[in-house]
Structure 1
Amino acid sequence: MAGQSRKWMILVATIWIQAFTGTNFDFSAYSSEMKAVLGVSQVQLNYLATASDLGKAVGWSSGLALMWMPLWAVMFTAAVMGLIGYGAQWLVVTNVIALPYFVVFLLCLLAGCSICWFNTVCFVLCIKNFPSNRPLALALTVSFNGVSAALYNLAVNSLNHSSSAVYLLLNALIPLFTSIVALIPILRQPVVDPVASDLVRRDQLTFLKLNLLAVITGLYLLFLHPSNSLTACLLFAGAIFLLILPLGVPGIIYARDWFKRTIYSSFRLDGSGFILVDAEDLELHKELLSRPNSVTNGLTTDSVNIDGQKNGSDESC
């Protein structure tokens, strides 16, 4: 039963990874500043935007890496790729270092490859832990990837930073922090056992609730816009709360299993009624009733003896 709650913890971890690793969606936020620092044309800037998607063309490398590396190592490799790719771009935009255009292009490729590696980790986790409902698990986690740009926008506005280069800094650090948070559920993956049909239907109902929560999260980020840094901070805290809310699913499952083990199992159905008796006392009671000199048999024997004596007295008279 503990495995049931742990597999939902893994699903929540994949939701967090997807929500904070769609870093290629916020390129337009810092593209103008990057264009000015590099001194490139609009066409060259468009090539940099394309490079992030081209990095996914070598995403097959994540599959090869899984043949030789554990899943958590692949996840942290993706985080390091993003740290190097976006971190070096942040240093370039903030004029800390100077790099040629071709090197920046390669950094964009590296950052795009990190996104693909993160996606591979999430897909493997969903397929492994939800073999009976893998389409629902994959669709749910991928849906959270689209909220990354809105989350990063709220994070930057809450910091009230004048330079848009902070997007690059957050793109480098937040996926790494998310990987650290998701490490414990990934290391404690449950053993996958065959799931009964009633549990599959119950999981489908849980997925329906999580999909409704995903819709609420998307609408929240779509229609609520910050007017100042304080409002942005409050909205960002609300978004984090919506992402933490799915943690209630494994908590509810664990509480339900605990109730079945401790409370429900203490009631025993015997015949047509419930007997709230300790198991050892019940066995002792049955043993006493089965003895020949039990109370019931004793009463029956005594009554027979009395009747026999009475009949003997009558005959003697």
Structure 2
Amino acid sequence: MVGQSRKWMILIATTWIQAFTGTNFDFSSYSSTLKSVLGISQLQLNYLSVASDMGKAFGWCSGVSLMCLPLWVVLFMAAFLGVFGYGVQWLVIKQVITLPYFLVFVLCLVAGCSICWFNTVCFVLCIRNFPTNRALALSLTISFNGVSAALYTLIANAINPDDETLYLFLNALVPLLASSLALVPILRQPPLQLLSTDTTSRDSFVFFVLNVLAVFTGLYLLLLNSLSSKASRARILLGGALILLLLPLCLPGIVCGRSWARRTVHTPAFCLEGPTFSSFDPDDFDQLHKELIGNDRNNNSSSVNPFSETNKEGLFGMIMEKGRLTVLGEEHPARLLVRRLDFWLYYVAYFCGGTIGLVYSNNLGQIAQSLGYYSQISAIVTLYSSFSFFGRLLSAAPEFMPSCILHEQGG
């Protein structure tokens, strides 16, 4: 019961980290001021935005670091990369120090690298603690990265609506504070547990509730953020947003209470069951988990086909097949990945297609200024980031859809 409570705390902590580390979304909010202070052209400003995105190309360093360092150390390394990258840029834009263009380019590169390190930590936390529903955990937490611009706009307006340089200061400080708040749940991670079918069903139902709550949070930030032009109203709206982010903290208590009721009260009236939204059979995942922890017992050997044996590093490359669905194991050697066509298809698609939206978002400030809407740039950035949030959240729809379709066909 305690382990179940802790894993939900991990999910909430991961959500907080993602919600406050999407610092690349608010580049347009201060890009014009940065351009003016540095005295650079639009082309040079574009190079700075590209540098921020290119920092993610060095994200593989975070994976290598996790092989040698504890997870919480990598988390704070990411935070201090952001403190250095954005903090020094803030000193530059406040004209406290003067740096050449090349060093500012390097600072943008470091700041972008910190974002990728945060993402790696969050991915590992979700996969470790939700091996069965990791797709739901990843889609939920990653989606909150899209509300960062809206949250930062509220914080900046609550402090001083007229100071655009605040965004860089917040980009440096807020992720460090979020990492500090998430430290305790990360240090108290539960051990790997085998999940029963009932537990998997309840977890899927909780994820459904969390997705509904996430939709309300996104709508709140999207519809009410335009009212935050004054500091007093921005503080009230910021308080409401923080309450929505803290609301999932009730989940561990609910999970513990339901587990206690199921064990102590043996009446149908207290049997709280949620629908199963996972598109995979939990029995298959139970078998996969047993293989991953080295359990020699095999309850469903007829449904499992070994793909490869465990290598020297303990990486596992088993494939489970059910119908047309193929589910890979938890870990795969790099040399196995680079031989697969689907890996390179994903790589090329992400490399070529994932940057299209970034080109647009990084130039929102200049687009708004050229159209005469520069005073509304914060609202435009919030609008863009909010729809990015909903788009990411929508990626979880296939995980819920199969059960709904089957339910309609059965009815």
Identify the TM-score tier after normalising by the shorter chain.
0.7 to 0.9
Deviation, structure 1 residue 161: 4.6
Alignment of 1:11-160 (within 5 A): 11-160=11-160
TM-score by length of structure 1 reads: 0.82
Structure 1: unaligned runs, 5 residues or longer: 268-317
Q: For 2:163 and 2:241, how far apart are their aligned partners in 1?
A: 23
- 1:290-309 aligned at under 5 Å gives the runs none
Query: In structure 1, how many angstroms separate the alpha carbons of the residues matched to 2:265 and 2:248?
Result: 26
1:96-117 alpha-carbon deviations (Å, 9 max, x no partner)? 1110000000000000000000
Give % identity.
Answer: 63
8 Å contact from structure 2 (residues 161, 229) kept in 1:
no
Q: Which has the larger radius of gyration?
A: 1
Change (3 A) 1:134 1:156: same
SS in 1 for 2:40: coil
| Runs of 5+ consecutive residues of structure 2 not aligned to the other structure | 268-411
Match of 1:174 in 2: 174
Q: Could you say which residue in structure 1 is the equivalent of 2:257?
A: 255
Question: Any residues of structure 2 matched to 1:204-283 within 5 Å, and which?
Answer: 204-224=204-224, 225=226, 226-259=228-261, 264=265
SS in 2 for 1:68: coil
Tell me what 2:386 maps to: none
Q: How far apart are the structure 1 equivalents of 2:262 and 2:208?
A: 24
1:198 aligns to 2:198 (yes or no) = yes
Q: CA deviation at 1:12?
A: 0.1
The structure whose residues are more often helix, as a share, is 1
The answer to whether the 8 A contact 2:75-2:121 is kept is yes
1:251 is displaced (CA, Å) by: 1.6
Once the 2 structures are TM-superposed, how far is the Cα of residue 255 of structure 1 from its aligned partner? 2.6
Q: Measure how far apart 1:61 and its partner are.
A: 0.6
> Number of residues paired by the alignment?
265
State the superposition RMSD in angstroms.
1.3
Instruction: Report the equivalent of 2:303.
Output: none
Alignment partners' CA distance in 2, 1:49 and 1:227: 26
CA offsets per residue over residues 187-219 of structure 1, 9 Å max, x none? 000011110011101100000000011111111
Give the corresponding residue for 2:372.
none
Tell me which amino acid in the other structure corresponds to 1:60.
W
Following the alignment from structure 2 to structure 1, what is the Cα–Cα distance between the partners of residues 47 and 174?
A: 25
Following the alignment from structure 2 to structure 1, what is the Cα–Cα distance between the partners of residues 193 and 203? 15
Normalising by structure 2, we get a TM-score of 0.63
Residues 161 and 230 in structure 2, CA contact (< 8 A), matched pair in contact too? no
